Structure 1
Amino acid sequence: MGIQTIDGALLKKMLKEAALNLDANKKTVDDLNVFPVPDGDTGTNMSLTMQYAVREIDNIADGTVSEVSASTSSGALMGARGNSGVILSQLLRGFAKGCKGLKELDIQNAAQALQYASDMAYKAVMKPTEGTILTVARGMAEFAMSNNESYIDMESFLTDVIKEGKIILDKTPDMLKVLKDAGVVDAGGMGLLFIMEGALNALTGKESTYQQPEIEWDKPVEDRIESYENITFGYCTEFIIIGNNDETVRDQLAVKFNKLGDSIIVVGDEEKIKVHLHTDNPDKAMGLALEIGSLTRIKIENMREQVQNRTVEKTTAKSVKPKKYGVIAVASGEGMKRIFEDLGADEVILGGQTMNPSTQAFIEKIDHINAENIIILPNNSNIILAANQSKQISKKNVVVIPTKTIPQGITALLEFNPELQPQDNQDLMEEAAGEVKTGQVTFAVRDTSFKGRDIKKGDIIGISEGEIVCVGNNPEEVCDELLKSMIDEYSELISVYYGEDVKKESAEDFISSLESSYDQMDVELHWGGQPLYYYVISVE
């Protein structure tokens, strides 16, 4: 007879192996992105969330399943990144609820905990969509609840629960048309199965051979910057590159980084490279890194701001009266960051596609602003849940404007009025954001077919309102075609934000042609500096 119950020590082992298994397979999950664009990050977000979760349980020596699961839930809540990470944190929160007060889990308890996990995750999403991680979680929970009395050992029980999850995962394309059109299953659902399989491996003593490198990937490089005089380059930038590489690649990368800043550290192995540098152009540094592989554990800090804040904190009394409003915006690209700062944002988190900020990142910014009301502009559909989760945790009055694109965020911020009450501001800003049409021009990272349209790796693609509208070989030509699909008789303003891979002269020539074509409309050009996307455009 196999294992019948799980105690705290075994649960701790299972959760750690679950995190390792997901980390080892996160690229497989990332590659299931519906669109063939360079921002698939479901696996990365879920893996980072799990790593935060299991980091918390290292502080528990001989805990019960109740204590271990509660600690895991707490870590996941703060470390959640992206929609998939937030949903995962809610699954772990529900699981912890099912374990509350228990020293050990038997099969019936485990089934109940899985049910609590599913229920909690569904409650966290305002409009749950079937064919996602939620469906896979619910299917496994329903199977567990209906069949738990048929099993006498935990191994066979969890094995069959996972089998049921795989059956449901394979059906997700039949539930979501976008999955069927792209020829993929749901990425979040697959990530959840990697977590479950890792846990089962630990239960049965079949731990994977995957080992995280001995390099202290999680430990930040310590910078002792005490004054402006010691700062040559303004941003302390750290990240990890995931991809096949060797010592030559690392050496070449270090040479390129030396042209962008100082305090360069480039270390790693065949699968990961840890990077640290001080630079005025963190986006350019990340752009060079993206030529090698995907990025994770991104941290960008304004060192001048840190020195100033430390000085202010030392000299300013804590009794300073808070102002009425503070604004936090998420932006990808130094140009976009400056636009939000010029419009009055108190804090701008560098993030967006491929680098979704965690709940913890929002909490830190919220706490840092001395204001009664905090307005958050996520500016990305995959960041809204993390922003809302920070709202639930914070003791301040936080208003999340559900902006899905940077142009929506800019337009919403233009409508902000510090004299109005929070609800009035929310209504005005949401209404303004809803009137903005956004388009994006990027490149395909794989061959695919989307809604009957053949797309080859390297093709330039134009995306608007969740649809691939056009495909071509030239960013400006694709952008022009994309605009034609977005403009109607009511359109008055075209705003174009060019990215780090577009030369200023090319963008200006393109704008000149647009001004000739749309002489009845206002046409604006802005430097966005965003990575991966040649152009971000909006029509109002």
Structure 2
Amino acid sequence: MAEQTLANHSDRLNAINIYPVADADTGTNLYLTVRSASQAIAELDNPDVGAVMAAAGRAAMEQARGNSGTLFSVFLSAMAEPLAGQKRLSAPLVAAALHRAQLRSWSALSEPMPGTILSVLEAAARGAAQVETVLNGDDSNHALGKTLDGAVAAAREAVVLTETQLGVLAEAHVVDAGAVGLLLILDCLRSVVVGQPMQEDLLDGLSGYKLQDPNIALTMPEQAGVEVMCTIYLTPLAAAGLRMQLDELGDSVIMSAVSEQADDAGAYPWRVHVHVPSPATALDAIQAVGDPNNVSISALSPNAGNDAHDLL
């Protein structure tokens, strides 16, 4: 359901994608990342809830696109941890999973910022926890629905606030694209679990989100530089060192372990994301500590060529 919903909304999400760079691809990135997760779980045979989330998270992480896709994949992977071995969702489990997801997502970024997808995830976790606390451990389906309602309602309030939390969004009079994308995903989860349609008024009143509104992203100045993403096996110490170096070389640094399974040398697979002036700036640092795979390189400007081979 989330895959189809994001496909339907990708153009409008792209149109308001101006933070952290105006590259007009948040909708596309979220859709492609969610599609990878959807394809992975379609191949599972009667798994438990945690297995579904874990498989979705791994697939999303390996194929993540952009800031938003990478953070969404961290969100999925983290949610899987409290759900391991569980056959069904419950209000306490949803609250615990959202709490874990917001902690992992904030820690994955070197410079987490309010007014983004992170704020919405934090609000959703808080909203779920508040409802679940009142329900006092009730694991009925009714309690589950109430908890998801609380998460989505809090998430929507956070989306509205993004316009005032970041200067570039306030000047353009739009909400954050990644924040809206996560809101849609959360309401898809609520819809599937409780067996109700998505909320028709969910997006009403969100600045910049009417279909007739202009494409803000394409009116913004071009952004120099590229986005580099890859997967690489590193020990935790080496990963910390690489993060520090990438922080010095570029920005929008995101690093998160793809799985908790280490190899014989104690190294874990890490997904790396960074914005840098040129591909070599990041690749030289990455290749100095390991052998990256699944490398993707894209121009930050929506008007520039996105073919990785042209940018190398």
User: Which structure dedicates a bigger proportion of its chain to strand?
Assistant: 1
Once the two structures are TM-superposed, the CA of residue 68 in structure 1 deviates from its matched residue by 1.1
Conserved 8 A contact 2:6-2:181: yes
Match of 2:89 among 101, 105, 109: 105
Determine which of 144, 160, 169 is the counterpart of 1:154.
144
Match of 2:42 in 1: 58
Q: Give unmatched runs, 5+ long, in structure 2.
A: 136-141, 199-217, 219-224, 233-241, 290-299, 307-312
| Aligned 8 A contact 1:82 1:385 in 2 | no
Give the aligned residue type for 1:405.
P
Cα offset for 1:380?
7.9
Is 1:123 the counterpart of 2:107? The answer is yes
Query: Using the alignment, how far apart are the partners of 1:397 and 1:150 within structure 2?
Result: 39
With the length of structure 1 as denominator, give the TM-score of the two structures: 0.40
Closer, same or farther: CA 67–29 of 1 in aligned 2, 3 Å? same
Cα RMSD (Å) = 4.1
Q: How does 1:200-279 map to 2 (within 5 A)?
A: 200-206=190-196
Structure 1 residue 141 corresponds to structure 2 residue 13: no
Distance 1:111 1:34, change over 3 A: same
Deviations 1:268-291 (A, max 9, x none): xxxxxxxxxxxxxxxxxxxxxxxx
Task: From 181, 186, 189, give the equivalent of 1:191.
Answer: 181
Preserved CA contact (<8 Å) 2:276 2:282 = no
SS in 1 for 2:254: helix
**Measured at CA, do residues 174 and 64 of structure 1 come closer, stay the same or move farther in structure 2, by a change above 3 Å?**
same
Which residues of 2 match residues 284-433 of structure 1 at below 5 A? 359=230, 384-385=253-254, 404-406=276-278, 409=279, 422=288
The question of 1:27 aligning with 2:25 is answered no
Q: Deviations over 1:384-403 (max 9, x none)?
A: 537x768x9995999x8956
Q: C-alpha displacement at 1:358, in angstroms? A: 5.9
Task: Give the % identical residues.
Answer: 27
Contact 2:79–2:98 (CA<8 Å) still a contact in 1?
A: yes
CA deviation profile, 1:280-320 (whole Å, cap 9, x unmatched): xxxxxxxxxxxxxx9xxxxxxxxxxxxxxxxxxxxxxxxxx
**1:80 is matched with which residue: 55, 58, 64?**
64
Q: Is the 8 A contact 1:20 1:198 kept in 2?
A: no
Q: Would you tell me which structure has more helix in proportion to its own residues?
A: 2
Query: Structure 1 residue 132: deviation in Å?
Result: 0.7
Query: Residues 132 and 49 of structure 1: is their aligned pair in 2 closer, same or farther, counting only changes over 3 Å?
Result: same
CA shift at 1:84, angstroms? 1.0
Q: How far apart, CA to CA, are the structure 1 residues paired with 2:257 and 2:81?
A: 18
1:158 CA drift (Å): 1.4
**Based on CA coordinates, which of the two structures has the bigger radius of gyration?**
1
Distance in structure 2 (CA, Å) of the matches to 1:442 and 1:105 = 40
Within 5 Å, which residues of 2 pair with 1:421-500?
A: 422=288
Deviation at 1:357, TM superposition (A): 6.9
Q: Distance in 2 between matches of 1:401 and 1:206?
A: 36
Following superposition, the deviation at residue 203 of structure 1 comes to 2.5
- Unaligned stretches of 5+ residues in structure 1: 1-16, 209-293, 295-351, 364-373, 424-439, 444-529, 533-540
Q: Distance in 2 between matches of 1:23 and 1:442?
A: 19
**Distance of 1:204 and 1:183 partners within structure 2:** 34
Change (3 A) 1:389 1:46: farther
Q: What's the TM-score once normalised by structure 2's chain length?
A: 0.66
Name the residue aligned to 1:43: 27
Partner Cα distance (2:32, 2:163) in 1: 26
Q: Partner of 1:117: helix, strand, or coil?
A: helix
For residues 268 and 50 of structure 2, the distance between their equivalents in structure 1, rounded to whole angstroms, comes to: 30
Give 3-state SS (helix, strand or coil) of 1:385's partner: strand
| CA separation of 1:44 and 1:389: change in aligned 2, threshold 3 A | farther
Closer, same or farther in 2 for the Cα pair 1:33/1:112, shift >3 Å? same
Q: Deviations over 1:169-228 (max 9, x none)?
A: 1111222111101111111111001111122222243467xxxxxxxxxxxxxxxxxxxx
Verify the 8 A CA contact 1:32 1:184 in the aligned structure 2: yes
Do the aligned partners of 1:107 and 1:153 also contact (CA within 8 Å) in 2?
yes
Q: Which has the higher contact order (CA 8 A, sep 6+)?
A: 2
Instruction: Identify if the C-alpha distance between structure 1 residues 120 and 109 changes in structure 2 by more than 3 Å, giving closer, same or farther.
Output: same
